[in-house]
Chains A and B, each alone.
Chain A
Amino acid sequence: MDAGTIVSIQKLCKSYHRGNQVIPVLSDISFDIAEGEFLALMGPSGSGKSTLLNLIAGIDQPDSGSIVIGDVDVTTLAETELAKWRALNVGFIFQFYNLIPVLTAFENVELPLLLTPLSRSERKAHVEMALRVVGLADRMDHYPSQLSGGQEQRVAIARAIVTDPTILVADEPTGDLDRNSAEEIMDLMDRLNEESKKTIIMVTHDPRAAKKAHVIRHLDKGILTNADPQDTL
C-alpha cells in the first residue's frame, strides 16, 4: 500500500445468490483511497455502490479480493474481531439516521463509547464535544422525535465521529433531507474533512452532494467505470 493511502481495495468481487442463480454485484474492483480524501461513490440503483460501501465498512464480506484499511485486511477478520475493528475505526452515517428512538441525542452519541474503556466523565466530555462540533450542544437532552430530519442527521454524524474513527462512511446522508438541510449536512461533512482531515467515503445519488467530494467514482453494474486518478475533481 502506498504511503498516504488509507484504503486499498484489490480485485474485489461480490455476488448474491437467489436460489441457484448467482447475481454478480461487484466485479474485480480495485482502487485506493488516500488519507483525508473525500470520496463520492455514484451510480444508478443496483450498481453495487452500497454493497461496496458495506464491504469497506466491514459489515459485509466479499467473495474474493482484499480491503486493506490502515494496515488491516478487513476481509480476513472473524466476526468478533470485525465488530471490535468497526467500533474503533469506522463511523457510520445512514440515510435514515438510524438513531435509537428511546435514547436522547446525548445517549445516542454515547452508544459507541460504551464499548470503550472510557470513564463516565470522559464519555460525557467526548459526547459534548461531538455535539458541539455538529452544532447541537443545546439539544443533547432531546429525543430523536423532538428533532428535525437535519438535526437527527447531525446527531448521527456526532455519533459517527465521537470515537474519532479512521474513516467515515456515509450512505446517502442527504437522501432523506430537504434541500436546505442537505446543504447543511454536506457543509458539515466538508468541514469535518477539511478541518479534522477525516477520510470520508460517501454513496450518493445527489450531484450537489457529490460536488463536495474531492474524488467521484462511478459504478455501473458492479464495475468501476472511472477508476483513474484523473477523475479527481
Chain B
Amino acid sequence: MQILKILFKNAFRHKLRTGLTVLSITIALLAFGLLRTVINAWYSGVEASSAYRLVTRNAVSIMFPLPYSYKDRIRQVDGVSEVSWGNWFGGIYIDEKNFFANFAVDARTYFDLYREYAIPDDERTAFFRDRKGFVAGRKLAERFGWKIGDTVVLKGTIYPGNWEFVMRGIYRGREPNADETVFMFHWDYLNESLKKTAPRRADQVGFYMVGIEDPGRAISIAEAIDALFKNSFAETITETEKAFTLGFVAMSDTIITAIQLVSFVVIVIILAVVANTVAMSVRERTNEYAVFKTLGFGGWRIVGLILGESVVITTMGCAVGIAATYPAAALFGKAMGAYFPVFNVEPDTIVLDIVFSLAVGVLAAVIPVYRTLKMKIADGLRMIE
C-alpha cells in the first residue's frame, strides 16, 4: 500500500490548499521552462553553427565592409575549401514590426556551404536563374503566407529604395535547430544595383563565410587569412562560426543573465510556497505524527511520510507544468517567431524541471521533518486538532 496510499490521502486532505499549491508549482515551472527555452533560443544560433565554417569580417567592426576582391585571396589559403560572402540587407517588409533577417548572399557558394538548409532542386535552379529571385525559410514563408512566384517588396534601410524580389524557393532545416526564418537573395542583384545608384558602396562585402577541410586547423587557417590583410586598409578578423555567433549573443549577456536570475528566483519563490503548505499540513497533524511514533513508526518512516507528501505535491505540479510547457512554448514561439527563429523546449529544460521540483519537495519538508523528529510523543499527543 499502503504508505503510498497514506501519502496521497494526506496530500489531498485539504483539496483547495493542495490544488492551489499544485497550481503555483505548475505556473512556476511553466515560467521556468519558458525562460530556459528563451535562453536556449538565444543560443540556438551557437548550437547550430558548424565547426567546418569560419567567418571573416572587418577588424574594426562588423559595421565596416571588406573588399569583394578578398574572396580570391582567401580561397587560396591552404585548408580553405570554399568561400562565400554576404551582406546584411536590413530591409523592412511593409512595417517594422514584420522584422526578419534578410541577407544578400552569393547563392551558389552559400548553399554549398550551408548544407543544413535543404531546398528542392527545381526551386534551387529557379532561384539561381532569377537575378531578382529570393528564397525564404519555411517558417518565414508560412508567417506571411508567401508562395512560389509571389513578388515581395522590401524597403531598404541600409540600401535605400524599394527592392522588389520574386519568391523562387522555400528552404527547410535538416536539423531541428536550423533557422527557418531567413530571407536570402542574390548578392549580385544588390551589387549591380549599387553600381548604378551608389557606386562607392559597390563591390563591398559585409562578411565572408569560409569553408574549411579540417576543423582541427581552424585557428591556424584563421590566422593565415588575417595575416593576408595585415596592415591593409581593411584588416580582418577571422573566427569560427561559433565564436562569431557567440560574439552577437554576448551583446545580450546582461539580459540573459537577468533572465537566468529570474528563472531561479521563480524556483525560490515556489520553494517558499510549498514549504509553507507542508509546514501548515504537518503542524495541523502533529497529533497524528505523535500517534504514528507511538505505534512504533521510526524516524525514517516519519521522514518518508512528510517528505513523501511534499514530493507528491511537487511531482504533480511538475507533471502538469511540463505538460503545459510544450503548448505554451509553441504559442510563445509562434508569437515571437521573428525574434526567436528556433524555439524548442530542450530535454535539459525538462530535466531541470524535474530536478528542481524534487529539490523543492525535499527542501520544503526539511524543517517540518526536523520539528516532527524532535517532537516528544507525549507533547504531540496533547495537541488536539
Contacts and interface: CB of A to CB of B under 8 A. Distances in A.
Interface in A88-135: 88, 92, 94, 96, 98, 100-103, 107, 110-112, 114-115
A12 interface: no
Interface class of chain B by DSSP: helix
B17 to A, nearest CB: 14
A63 interface: no
Nearest to B293: A83
Given A60-B376, A98-B287, A92 B6 contact: no
A180 interface: no
A102 B296 CA distance: 19
Contacts of B287: 98
Given A110-B2, A114-B3, A100 B288 contact: yes
Interface class of chain A by DSSP: helix
B299 A59 contact: no
A83 B378 contact: no
Given A59-B377, A60-B377, A102 B294 contact: no
Contact of A86 (B9, B296, B378, B384): B296
Contacts of A84: 296, 298
Given A110-B2, A115-B296, A54 B378 contact: yes
Most buried by B among A51, A80, A102: A102
Contact of B381 (A85, A86, A94, A159): A94
B297 interface: yes
Contacts of A92: 294-295
Contacts of A94: 291, 381
Contacts of B376: 60
Nearest to A107: B2
B299 A79 contact: yes
Interface in B28-45: none
Contacts, number: 65
B371 interface: no
A2 to B, nearest CB: 28
B375 to A, nearest CB: 11
Query: What band does the interface of chain A fall in when counting residues whose beta carbon is under 8 Å from B?
Result: 20 to 34
A88 B296 CA distance: 8
A87 interface: yes
Interface in B274-327: 287-288, 291-299, 301
B299 A103 contact: no
Contacts of A100: 6, 288, 291
Contacts of A57: 294
Given A83-B298, A88-B296, A103-B6, A98 B291 contact: yes
Interface in A45-63: 51, 54, 57, 59-60
Interface in B1-48: 1-3, 5-6, 9-10, 13
A15 to B, nearest CB: 14
Given A83-B293, A88-B296, A114-B2, A96 B288 contact: no
A85 B301 CA distance: 16
A105 B13 CA distance: 17
A54 B293 CA distance: 13
Contact of B297 (A51, A83, A88): A83
Contacts of A80: 298-299
B299 A86 contact: no
B6 A86 contact: no
A115 B377 contact: no
Most buried by A among B5, B13, B287, B298: B298
Interface in B220-250: none
Contact of B295 (A86, A101, A103): A86
Interface of B: 1-3, 5-6, 9-10, 13, 287-288, 291-299, 301, 376-378, 381, 384
29 contacts: A51-B378, A54-B378, A57-B294, A59-B293, A59-B294, A59-B377, A59-B378, A59-B381, A60-B377, A83-B296, A83-B297, A84-B296, A84-B298, A86-B294, A87-B296, A87-B297, A88-B296, A92-B294, A92-B295, A94-B381, A96-B384, A98-B288, A98-B381, A102-B9, A103-B9, A107-B1, A110-B2, A115-B295, A115-B301
Interface of A: 51, 54, 57, 59-60, 79-80, 83-88, 92, 94, 96, 98, 100-103, 107, 110-112, 114-115, 159
Closest 3 CB pairs of A and B: A87-B296, A102-B9, A59-B377
